Chains A and B, each alone.
Chain A
Amino acid sequence: MDLFFYVERDSPVHRLHPVTKLILLGGLCTIALVLRSPPPLLAFFVVILLATIATGGLGNVRRVLVFLLLAGTSALLLWTLVGGGPTPLFLWMSREGLRRGVVAALRIDSFILAGVLFLSTTRNEEIVQGLLRIGLPYPVCFAFSTALRLAPSFIGTGLAVREAQRARGLDPDAGSLAARLRANIPLLVPTFLTTIRMTNHLAMSLEARGFGLQKQRTSLLVTHFGGGDLFVLLLLAALLAGAITSA
């Protein structure tokens, strides 16, 4: 089972410099924050969606689909509840509240999708390089990328533990909510302990392979700042300026 987001492709987005991709991620999120009316936000959302699909991230979009729907719906409902306005529409909803809800939902889903686009096109090692280039210390960058990497192995361990407990007759999905919560203890304890043990081995392995030995670390990955990067940054700046003036 593939638990990573990165998709091996040679798309124009993949070829961008990691720093450009980081700026792109930040820029896309800023635009989503700045836009305040539903139509341009919807158009913006669709653009990111198409970009993600075009760069090979359709599988990843499917993986986060439930999450997108959940986050979108809850943002929508919450804002219709608290973002009241003078024009009643339906039951508790006001026209203004609904509009705010739609904006919030599109905004949060744009954030998620921008993240998916970034992770689908950027290797862990590139993220580290990008963060290094913008001035973060190496151990901090490495900790960040290790966290990204540990997530899949954590899930992998969790699945193995679940299988082992099911073999003993445990059915983690049966019964009331309380019963299901109780059934999770035999899953959580071994998962956490196995992960802690693994992290310890990982730390020893890093040390044994000379991690932190040199202040200036070199890299096998070649990253060029090219015409594509310049184009994307200029386009992003133009979009951002447009979004700010229109808002």
Chain B
Amino acid sequence: MIDPVLAYEAVRFRYAGGHRSALEEVTLALAAGETVVLLGASGSGKSTLCLAANGLVPHFLKGEFSGRVLVGGRDTREHQPRTFAPFVGVIFQDFESQLFCTTAELEAAFGPENLGLPREEIRRRVDEALARTGLSGLARRMPATLSGGQKQRLVLAAALTAYPQVLVLDEPTSDLDPRGKAEVHAVARALSSGRQATALLIAEPEAEEAAQADRVVIMRGGRIARSGPPGEVLTRLDELSAAGIPPPAAAAITGHLGLPVTIDPGEAAARITAAGYRVRATPHQATPAAAGAAAILAARGLSFSYPGGPPVLDRVDLEIQAGELVAILGQNGSGKSTLAKLLAGLLPTPADAVLIGGRCAREIPRAEAGRRVGFVFQNPDHQIFAETVDAEIAFGPRLQGLDTAAVRERVEEALAAVGLLERRSADPFLLSKGERQRVAVASVLATRPEALILDEPTTGLDHAEVRETMALVERLNRGGHAVVIITHAMWVAAEYAHRIVVMSGGRVIADGPPRSVFHDAATLAAAAIKAPEAAVIARRLGSDAVSVEGLLGALARD
């Protein structure tokens, strides 16, 4: 390779106080205009690798560092991270904390202002970066008022104005809805092929966008386990599985059928047909909701707006029965979270538009509503406060006024349900994000609610953690809880939900089983959501399956 713009040479790093190395002998080089996607489970070293690109590791986050990282030939150990600002832009996962100016254009100007560029040059770069990220019309807007996708693009624009040769993005789309994700990836792709030929290093938890990269790097336990073109790396199913990365659906299905593995959905469908597989009729499972039973949660002609704000919900009718597992899908701002909070009685409801257990939500005191409907928020850190996992989980039952023995019993039960019996005395703040999410679920379970609402329970978790969390949700549902999940992960909805509710502009625009919703092109387009890849392959084969397992079950050989 001629003069890499970013080079890691045998980099090892162990965080101060860490018991194992976060990076082990990592050697990796990026050429101008190259896009490299890093894939790996939580703790595989992706984020550390990103933070080492401009010397934040080891200057800011300290520890034992060996080997070297070269940015345009300069060693990061010998210079402060800020000196690399004109060469490498690093964007972290949590984009909210990277916005600190009062307008979008000042945010984008912050970098070049630090570089001491003349005002006219700053103006030119700001206008250019906002145009490239599709934010031109929003230059004077306060960043806090932008949508998630817009905020993430603004963080990108703010990095672009420094004209870096390399952009490092740590899970840039994990909090975004499908449209936001697509927008950010489109901007990133345009950059690498653009005039400046920016090199991109993008860390991702799933392989979804990796097929478009020049190179895919699999990380496992701080090491690079495999590196190569997407078609070569993403077809190694055993290696992906060992690294905790879900393979693309096309690869999983062709691999499972013993066909030559491909990552292209069209190619997969062709290979499956050529091998003589046909779709057979499969009996559809009935939804487990008890017919005619009273709804546990109900919205009747529910309209809602926040004080002084525009309408958020517009005449929503929805009933959730005992035993159902319902996924609510839709863009950011479509009203999903507001609907969920209203169903849980967390917001003041208009008249008798919301019923909990058949009673008007307005008349139910907070403590009782909390007992009937559990609500798990997206960020577990907004609720965890106790010094041990035990004490955290006991908080809810104690608030209900239960005696010590009863509290004990509830805690045991909830710990067992989330698989944290062994971590009961641990400090919740020292647990991984996935474990903290489980503590949050357990603390709600301990109040034994009849219905459980989870707002994006899988955000920020790796594949194994998503599987664990969803297995737990499924168990709870089988145990009789009605469960509602809000999610942007289409495959999660396709695989686990009995019923899908699609929201757009404050209205429910579709409500039905995954098989019908994910094959209804008009609804998907109206809500700007994407069917899971397995559903795309299934449609080409004439099946209405929506998951890898579903499709495999529907295929038979002549």
Residue B15 CB within 8 A of the other chain: no
Residue B82 CB within 8 A of the other chain: yes
Please tell me which one of the listed residues B103, B341, B444 contacts residue A168 in the complex, with CB atoms under 8 A apart: B444
Residue B383 CB within 8 A of the other chain: yes
Is there an interface contact between B110 and A198, defined as CB atoms closer than 8 Å? no
A2 to B309, CA, bound (A): 11
Which chain B residues border A189 with CB–CB below 8 Å? 385
A8 to B367, CA, bound (A): 42
A128 to B51, CA, bound (A): 29
Is there an interface contact between A169 and B101, defined as CB atoms closer than 8 Å? no
Interface string of A52-67 (1 = CB under 8 A from B): 0000000000000000
Residue B165 CB within 8 A of the other chain: no
Interface string of A192-209 (1 = CB under 8 A from B): 011001110111111111
Is there an interface contact between A220 and B85, defined as CB atoms closer than 8 Å? no
Which chain B residues border A199 with CB–CB below 8 Å? 97
Is there an interface contact between A190 and B385, defined as CB atoms closer than 8 Å? yes
Return A154 CB to nearest CB of chain B, in Å: 12
Residue A177 CB within 8 A of the other chain: no
Tell whether A218 pairs with B429 under 8 Å between CB atoms, given A124-B101, A169-B447, A209-B162: no
Please tell me which one of the listed residues B106, B122, B377 contacts residue A125 in the complex, with CB atoms under 8 A apart: B106
A213 to B159, CA, bound (A): 15
Which chain A residues border B100 with CB–CB below 8 Å? 146, 149, 202, 205-206
Tell whether A213 pairs with B85 under 8 Å between CB atoms, given A166-B346, A166-B366, A201-B92: yes
Which chain A residues border B158 with CB–CB below 8 Å? 209
A93 to B97, CA, bound (A): 53
Residue B399 CB within 8 A of the other chain: yes
Residues of A in contact (CB 8 Å), total 54
Residue B475 CB within 8 A of the other chain: no
Please tell me which one of the listed residues A4, A163, A169, A185 contacts residue B377 in the complex, with CB atoms under 8 A apart: A163
Return A211 CB to nearest CB of chain B, in Å: 5
Band of interface residues on B:
35 or more
A164 to B454, CA, bound (A): 12
Which of B83, B366, B444 gathers the greatest number of chain A CB atoms within 10 Å? B366
Residue B212 CB within 8 A of the other chain: no
Residue A214 CB within 8 A of the other chain: yes
Is there an interface contact between B447 and A194, defined as CB atoms closer than 8 Å? no
Residues A134-184 near B (CB distance < 8 A): 146, 149, 152, 157, 160-161, 163-171
Residue B109 CB within 8 A of the other chain: yes
Is there an interface contact between B382 and A194, defined as CB atoms closer than 8 Å? yes
Residue B277 CB within 8 A of the other chain: no
Is there an interface contact between A210 and B94, defined as CB atoms closer than 8 Å? no
Return A166 CB to nearest CB of chain B, in Å: 6
Residue B142 CB within 8 A of the other chain: yes
Residue B105 CB within 8 A of the other chain: yes
A126 to B481, CA, bound (A): 54
Which chain A residues border B518 with CB–CB below 8 Å? none
Tell whether A209 pairs with B379 under 8 Å between CB atoms, given A218-B117, A219-B113, A220-B126: no
Return A11 CB to nearest CB of chain B, in Å: 16
Q: Which residue of A lies closest to B101 (CB)?
A: A125
Q: Which residue of A lies closest to B83 (CB)?
A: A213
Which chain B residues border A202 with CB–CB below 8 Å? 97-98, 100
Is there an interface contact between B381 and A197, defined as CB atoms closer than 8 Å? yes
Which chain A residues border B89 with CB–CB below 8 Å? 208-209
Residues A97-135 near B (CB distance < 8 A): 123-125
Residues B193-222 near A (CB distance < 8 A): none
Tell whether A207 pairs with B81 under 8 Å between CB atoms, given A167-B377, A169-B367, A218-B113: yes
Residue A247 CB within 8 A of the other chain: no
A106 to B383, CA, bound (A): 42
Which residues in B have some Cβ–Cβ distance to A below 8 Å? 51, 54, 56, 60, 80-83, 85-86, 89-90, 92, 94, 96-98, 100-103, 105-106, 109-119, 122-123, 126, 140, 142, 144-145, 158-159, 162, 341, 344, 346, 366-367, 370-371, 374-375, 377, 379, 381-385, 395-396, 399-400, 429, 443-444, 447
